């Protein structure tokens, strides 16, 4: 009986399969012809060729701060707009300062944040997701820094609350993190967005502002030194025989024959002195603590502006290299205004 049942089942399966195959192969009305598909192989090799450039860029990116220190866990709408790849793309698409909402499964800034990956399967996939001139949030200044316009979308000052006005009355500071937030390099390079109180120095910019055609990209993404500097690491220094060395691959076109490390150290020494002097005054006046946090409460506009300028130059993190003249003027005039 058991043998008969299995044999019957096997026969039924063969019969059913024959019906299905017959139905599939039976001639009938033909639908319209489909469009030709993309030649996948030809499309891929446009980028994935034997140069290994994509692999090299990936290795460099994996060592970058974007990958390792971008704090992409900060995925709320306001933070995720720059700290996450998905939130950045949402902000760019909407023209807003925030992402659509909390970013689920946040990813760090990566290839997809900056490039139009796998849209055409041609070299056009390298096109930037944002490329036009940047209108800075803090003061509405418009700057065109070429390829660096993409960087400046996030590397710019946030809008402080309140915005102090030179010659204005007292202001109330309610956050110990008062200032431009981290990463105001776009403003510094453009020479805008600081608290420009009158003083002995005018608010001029160094030659970098006018002569460096693609801003950040020119120096930070110059020829890579392995995965330590340049390329998609975007770092500016590497360790050579135990010493930190500036990756000057993007600098030598303008500074041929000059000692770049010496110029950087000289600028940094001057700015560090001014930062220390301003910090000392702000602590003495009871509006800043030794850990660089604002002390909340009522203060003059010039004190609030001095805190902003102190944080602006400190958070720029270039030690004056990005725009020495503007950084020096902000600190010098701030010291004079509260001294």
How do the domains of the chain map onto residue ranges? 41-129, 130-339
The separation between the first and the last C-alpha atoms of the chain, rounded to the nearest angstrom, is 106
DSSP 3-state of 63? coil
pLDDT bracket for residue 70 (50, 70, 90) = confident
Mean pLDDT for 229-249 is 96
Tokens describing residue 156: 């710019």
Which pair of structure tokens corresponds to residue 211?
């002569």
Contact (CB, 8 A) for 282 and 335: no
| 117: DSSP letter | T
| Mean pLDDT rounded to a whole number for the chain | 90
pLDDT-derived band at 46 (thresholds 50, 70, 90) equals: confident
Nearest residue to 338 via CA among 302, 313, 292: 302
pLDDT at 217 over 90: yes
With cut-offs at 50, 70 and 90, classify the pLDDT of residue 285. very high
Q: Grade residue 282 by pLDDT with cuts at 50, 70 and 90.
A: very high
Q: Which residues contact 112 (CB under 8 A, 6 or more apart)?
A: 85, 89
Can you point out the beta strands (E) in 265-320?
297-299
Instruction: Tell me: pLDDT of 28 over 80.
Output: no
Reported as a pLDDT band with limits 50, 70 and 90, residue 82 is very high
Asked if pLDDT for residue 15 goes beyond 70, the answer is no
Identify the pLDDT of residue 43.
75
- Would you say residue 16 has pLDDT above 50? no
Answer whether residue 104 shows pLDDT above 90: yes
Reported confidence tier of residue 49, pLDDT bands at 50, 70, 90: confident
Instruction: Give percent above pLDDT 90 in the chain.
Output: 83
300 pLDDT tier (thresholds 50, 70, 90):
very high
- In tens, the pLDDT along 140-184 reads 999 999 999 999 999 999 999 999 999 999 999 999 999 999 999
Lowest-confidence range among 147-151, 199-203, 252-256? 252-256
Instruction: State the pLDDT at residue 312.
Output: 98
Strand ranges for 129-200 from DSSP E: 134-135, 142-143, 171-173
Collapsing DSSP states into helix, strand and coil, what is residue 108?
coil
Cα–Cα distance for residue pair 326/297, rounded to 1 Å: 29
Q: What is the dihedral of CA 77, 78, 82, 87, to 10 degrees?
A: 10
């Amino acid at each position: 009986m058991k043998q008969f049942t299995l044999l019957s089942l096997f026969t039924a399966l063969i019969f059913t399969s024959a019906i299905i195959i017959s139905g599939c192969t039976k001639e009938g009305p033909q639908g319209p012809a489909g469009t030709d598909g993309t030649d996948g192989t030809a499309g891929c090799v446009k980028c994935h060729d034997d140069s290994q450039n994509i692999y090299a860029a990936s290795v460099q990116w994996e060592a970058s701060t974007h990958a390792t220190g971008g704090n992409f866990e900060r995925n709320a709408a306001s933070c995720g707009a720059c700290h996450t790849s998905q939130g950045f793309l949402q902000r760019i698409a909407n023209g807003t300062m925030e992402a659509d909402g909390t970013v689920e499964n946040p990813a760090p800034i990566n290839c997809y944040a900056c490039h139009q990956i796998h849209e055409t399967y041609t070299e056009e996939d390298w096109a930037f997701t944002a490329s036009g001139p940047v209108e800075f949030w803090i003061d509405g200044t418009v700057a065109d820094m070429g390829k660096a316009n993409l960087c400046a979308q996030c590397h710019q000052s946030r809008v402080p609350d309140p915005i102090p006005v030179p010659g204005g009355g007292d202001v109330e500071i309610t956050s110990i993190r008062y200032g431009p937030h981290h990463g105001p390099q776009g403003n510094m390079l453009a020479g805008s967005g600081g608290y420009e109180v009158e003083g002995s120095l005018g608010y001029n910019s160094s030659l970098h502002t006018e002569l460096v055609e693609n801003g950040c990209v020119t120096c930070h993404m110059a020829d890579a030194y392995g995965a330590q500097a340049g390329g998609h690491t975007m770092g500016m220094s590497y360790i050579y025989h135990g010493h930190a060395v500036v990756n000057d691959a993007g600098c030598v076109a303008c500074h041929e024959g000059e000692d770049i490390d010496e110029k950087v150290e000289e600028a940094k020494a001057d700015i560090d002195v001014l930062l220390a002097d301003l910090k000392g005054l702000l602590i003495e006046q009871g509006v800043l603590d030794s850990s660089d946090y604002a002390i909340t409460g009522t203060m003059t506009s010039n004190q609030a502006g001095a805190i902003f300028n102190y944080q602006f130059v400190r958070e720029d993190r270039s030690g004056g290299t990005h725009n020495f003249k503007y950084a020096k003027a902000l600190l010098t005039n701030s010291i004079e205004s509260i001294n």
